[in-house]
Amino acid sequence: MPKIVDPVERRQAVANAVLRVAAREGLEHASLRNVADEAGLAIGSVRHYFAGSSELMIFAMQELARRIDARIRTHARTLLDPDQPPGTDRREQTVLLLAETLPLDAERREESALWLSFVTAARTRPELRPRAAELQTGLDALVRHVLVEIERAGGLTPGLDLDVETRRLSALLDGLTLQAVQHPDLVGPDELRAVLRRHLDTLASG
């Protein structure tokens, strides 16, 4: 009997191949041919699931966002759980949540480098811009949600402009990510966490 291929799994496998090629050789080398070779498929099989390179890149960006979002949601559920025991360090939970967007280890460093590659490519590839904008919008929404929850718990200095603080914290995370990807020997995980904690301290009431 012919092997039954799950189209969802096959598209997922091809997207993962894109990310592996891009991480190893750069996004410019993630051609249909190279991706097909990485996935162990004929190029015709890749074209069966993706109309062209642009559709493939967009799907790979979605897969990258899904990976990051899955980890963030785990921390978000813990942070927002109303039944946490007394003495729970919500500040540290906030740091853990936001730190999931930073390149603190090999896996997250690779994801951050890929994210920067896609965002840079979107400057000259209009078809990628909506997805790049969604990634940034998602980060901004996460940051604002965190700040709203801190404010609700009485942890923000009264009178802060949440729009401004959302942009400020989002820009900080972007900047730390860029520096850590470009200079991993100079900007390590401990420093990334320390800068993030220090910024949250400047927002704290009292």
One DSSP character per residue, 128-140 reads GHHHHHHHHHHHH
Q: What is the CATH number of domain 1-50?
A: 1.10.10.60
| CATH 1.10.357.10, the chain: domain bounds | 65-203
Residue 85 scores a pLDDT above 70: no
* Mean per-residue pLDDT of the chain: 88
By C-alpha distance, which of 172, 175, 59, 73 is closest to 118? Answer: 59
- Residue 170 CA to residue 126 CA, distance in Å, equals 24
Distance of CA 156 to the CA centre of its chain: 26
Q: Which residue has the tokens 């039954």?
A: 4
**How is residue 75 written in tokens?**
């921390």
| CATH 1.10.10.60, the chain: domain bounds | 1-50
Please tell me the pTM assigned to this model: 0.85
Q: What is the CATH number of domain 65-203?
A: 1.10.357.10
Query: Residue 155 — very low, low, confident or very high, per pLDDT cuts 50/70/90?
Result: confident
